[in-house]
Amino acid sequence: MIEEIFNRQNQLKNKLRLSSSKERIAKLDTILNWILNNRSSIKIALHKDFRKSGEETDITEIYPLVSEIRNVKKNLRKWMKPNFVKRSIIYLTHSAFVKYESKGVVLIISTWNYPFLLSIGPLISAIAAGNSAIIKPSEISPNTSELISKMILELFPNKEIAVVQGDKAVSTELLKLPFDHIFFTGSTEIGKIVAKAASENLSDYTLELGGKSPVIVEKSASLKSTAEKIVWGKYLNKGQTCVAPDYILIDKDIRNSFTELLVNNIKKYYGNNHQEVETNLNYARIINEKHHSRLVEIIENTKQNDGQILYGGKYDSENYFIEPTIILTNCEGCKISEEEIFGPILPIVEYTNLDEAIQWINKRNPPLSIYIFSNNKIGIDKVINSTHSGGIGLNELVIHFSHPHLPFGGVRHSGIGRSHGFAGFKEFSYERSFIKAGKLNFLKIIYPPYNNRKRKIVDFFVKYL
């Protein structure tokens, strides 16, 4: 069945490649209208999967898609037009331009933490670029995956867009097929498997991965607003966000006062104690037993390695609940320092000078994001110029992910390729180069046979043009 769907889409790809901006926008409109008309169904599915609140679903799953579609609709006609390049003297009589053309049949393998957003987001770019697509949503969020399948069946024939559900075995079968592009969102470990499988068919691929995104809090930062932003960005979706702040690097002189601000905001957002947090409808759950156990192990491992729990640390394995937790640590080889946390555990590492913070970051793979809270321009520039990451947040965090005009992606272990807006359109397109001859052909002067006059002309070209 999977191969049959792929073959149908493969037969249609030339037709879709020639589709107009109007036709592509019409498809995006059907998605937009479906989302707006089914907001309650989306919220119910996500609540069933990991007790996500309706408000959080609107903010993190629905609005970014609505915003993305509106941005694409506004700009698609311009993106599809030939982009004429500058003429040099040698090519004075020629016209040259670049045109974006669809890649063909694409595979979208999405993940569970934002299951609706991370399935439909890449699809928007794929459709805008004129591709067909097969979506493999995550089996870990089954209610949302079922809703996505229902949505696509209602809106598109499977020769254009199809959803294939299943576990690892289904993904393995899909990766054997010669897709023109593969868009994967998930862990670095699985990303390597996807890249290796893509290489067998020389398929293009995009990998949106993760990593340990640090937050540097410098003395000059506005500590009150910094604490508010970090608590929101960290515990959003229970910390199960690829761009969530993974850990804080903070000047040791302000650590105590800043920790107090963090705790005050946790209480303000989610409740004053374990019981209040556990019953708070705005605090989601860990997705399943496997991920809950992994996070509990991080907490227990930290205790054994002299990590100090400054706040929280309680958990309920039956309900996959872990309260917002803050841990003071400087353990270099511990799980908390080396593994992406992807949960509601926030380590704090003290530093005495900015060079120590930069060194800590650079000992690890380049992260998806680096967040700097500071009003010291010299310090900010030093961090930017001394580190490498997919994105930078200056006195802000997380929200760059949903900015429709910013390319989003990582560096090596945190990702390959870019998505969103024009970057997403380009990711699912080929840049096809065109050159067109004019009526006069000045280049004849360099055709053989070569004589002394032509040698002088060539010499002039090399030296001056």
Kindly report the three-state secondary structure assignment for every residue of 110-152: CCCCCCCHHHHHHHHHHHHCCCEEEEECCCCCHHHHHHHHHHH
Residue among 28, 245, 22, 275 at smallest CA distance from 133: 28
Peptide bond before 344: cis, by omega within 30 degrees of 0? no
CB-based contact 161:10 (threshold 8 Å) = no
Catalytic residues, by residue number, are 208, 242
Cα 260 to its chain centre, rounded Å, is: 32
Residues 209, 410: contact at Cβ < 8 Å? yes
Calculate the alpha carbon distances from 207 to 184, 194, 409 in Å: 5, 8, 8
Tokens of 1: 């069945």
Paired strand residues for 371: 215, 393
SS3 call for 332: coil
Q: Is 404:68 a contact under the CB 8 Å cutoff?
A: yes
* H/E stretch holding 443: none
Q: Distances from the Cα of 327 to the Cαs of 246, 252, 324, 345, in angstroms?
A: 12, 14, 10, 7
DSSP 5-68: HHHHHHHHHHHHHT--HHHHHHHHHHHHHHHHHTHHHHHHHHHHHH---HHHHIIIIIHHHHHH
- Look at residues 395, 398, 6, 417 and name the one whose alpha carbon lies nearest to residue 184: 417
Contacts of 191 (CB under 8 A, 6+ apart): 184, 207, 209, 415, 416
**Distance from the Cα of residue 347 to its chain's centroid:** 23
CA torsion angle for 112, 214, 193, 140 (degrees, to 10)? Answer: -10
Question: Tokens 């995009």 correspond to what residue?
Answer: 206
Distance CA 101, CA 185 (A): 24
